[in-house]
Structure 1
Amino acid sequence: MQGIDDLCGLVVHEPIVQCVDPRIAPAADVPSCVLQLYFDELAALEAAARLDGPIHRALREPLTAGRFTQQVMAVRALTPHAPSTLARFQGCTYLVEYEGPAEDFNIWLAHYLQHHAPLMSTLPELRELEIYTRIDCSIGLPCARANAMQRNKVVFDDASALADALASPVRESMRRDFHTLPPYQGGTPHFAMGSTYGNLATH
């Protein structure tokens, strides 16, 4: 990803199989790879993601072969020292997608941020918590757009720490709160991933 102006963080996620969620069945369609590219400004992202722009050039073959979808999302970082600010970090991540739509997204998000997110923030050994909501913008990349209404990420040092968190009393409280979420449609696939973080701001 060298040569992408204003790219301030990159995370590469790859699936792991040694982590089992005791409360949720494994997702049927696990992505082979997830890339997160962080920009501080939307305009910088749009410039980098234009057709034949630097992101397209870096990923040209996988994009044109239909191996990626893309979605631009606002980031709510709810932990004070996220690994994405570190020069290098390897951890274990649980990615969650809420496909949506919600019956009333304002009510949905307010409830989620006020009730569910505080529970997530108390998961044992948590290193990072981010909540993402979708943004409409101009992207020229030749790959399909995903349209999840919300995504989440919780990060731990390793698969053992993630497994402990998934089996913890906090997770049981989260499952109870999950059943009180405002009405919404669609699935909520969960993916356990091994993650490599790098800070590219000075590259």
Structure 2
Amino acid sequence: MEVCFFLIGESAPAHHAFDHSDVARLQSIARDAAGLKRFVTHVPSVPNAPFCVTQWYFDDLELMEASLQPGNAIATVADDIAERASNGTLYQQAMAVRNFSTPHPHACEPRDERCTYLVSYEGEADNFNAWLTHYLTHHPPLMTQLPGIRELEIYTRIDYRSGLHHARATAMQRNKVVFDDIAALDAALASPIRTRMKADFDSFPPYSGATPHYPMRSIYGNLTRK
């Protein structure tokens, strides 16, 4: 199973928004991460969303942990983001990846852009095993029916070693739902499938906590080594 490391930048003033040159710099640094399989940078499409989210995918937990040590790729990017947005807060979290097939996948080439709906469950379920069993059994079959969906991933937290000094996020679960653009996302959110998803949500095992949802512009990294 893949592991994914999230760096999440929050609460930065608007003038610290990331532009294409910032994203290109992060992608250039990411190429040095040994064992890195995929790299995606997300920047906000709406106000009050995280100012930057990066995702680092590895097949090996130890390779991911090595990149989290001072001087290595993820640590370097974390320092770069923190310096670029000095008034923001940077969070880190490693998670296991569950990847679901969609009816019309579209492989992304380096530097391609998509529209991603990032969801996080920040609180706790009364019984996480019951929650996750219900969620994985009932929700993805609905989500993969959303019109225009290209990718679906669900993440659950894991323990990991890190040399980063940034705060650790503790989200119980995260989701990533990917569409071609914001118009496709809007159409999916207005579809009858979304109504069925809301009905299923009401049947989830008990959970308390925030569930923020953010549309993001997503740029896929070029991992061709220097």
TM-score (norm 1): 0.87
Match of 2:43 among 2, 9, 14: 14
For 1:121-132, list aligned pairs within 5 A: 121-132=144-155
- 2:94 match: 72
CA distances 1:120-157 after superposition (whole Å, capped 9, x unpaired): 01100100000000010101112100000000010000
In structure 2, what is the Cα distance between the partners aligned to 1:47 and 1:83? 31
2:49 counterpart of 1:30: yes
- Shift of residue 68 of structure 1? 1.5
- 2:67 match: 48
2:212 counterpart of 1:183: no
Q: Please say if residues 31 and 224 of structure 2, whose CA atoms lie closer than 8 Å, have aligned partners that are also in contact.
A: no
Higher-RCO chain (CA-CA 8 Å, sequence separation at least 6): 1
Q: Please say if residues 128 and 153 of structure 1, whose CA atoms lie closer than 8 Å, have aligned partners that are also in contact.
A: yes
Q: How many residues align?
A: 193
Q: Please say if residues 105 and 149 of structure 2, whose CA atoms lie closer than 8 Å, have aligned partners that are also in contact.
A: no
Overall identity of the aligned pairs, in %: 51
- Shift of residue 201 of structure 1? 6.2
Q: Please say if residues 121 and 173 of structure 2, whose CA atoms lie closer than 8 Å, have aligned partners that are also in contact.
A: yes
Match of 2:165 among 123, 137, 142: 142
The SS at the match of 2:215 is: strand
- 1:93 match: 116
In structure 2, what is the Cα distance between the partners aligned to 1:105 and 1:34? 26
In structure 2, what is the Cα distance between the partners aligned to 1:142 and 1:52? 13
- 2:130 match: 107
In structure 2, what is the Cα distance between the partners aligned to 1:84 and 1:58? 25
Letter matched to residue 12 of structure 1: T
- Shift of residue 199 of structure 1? 4.8
Relative to 1, partners in 2 of residues 1:198 and 1:91: Cα closer, same or farther, differing over 3 Å?
Answer: same
2:191 counterpart of 1:162: no
Measured on the aligned residues, the alpha-carbon RMSD in Å equals: 2.0
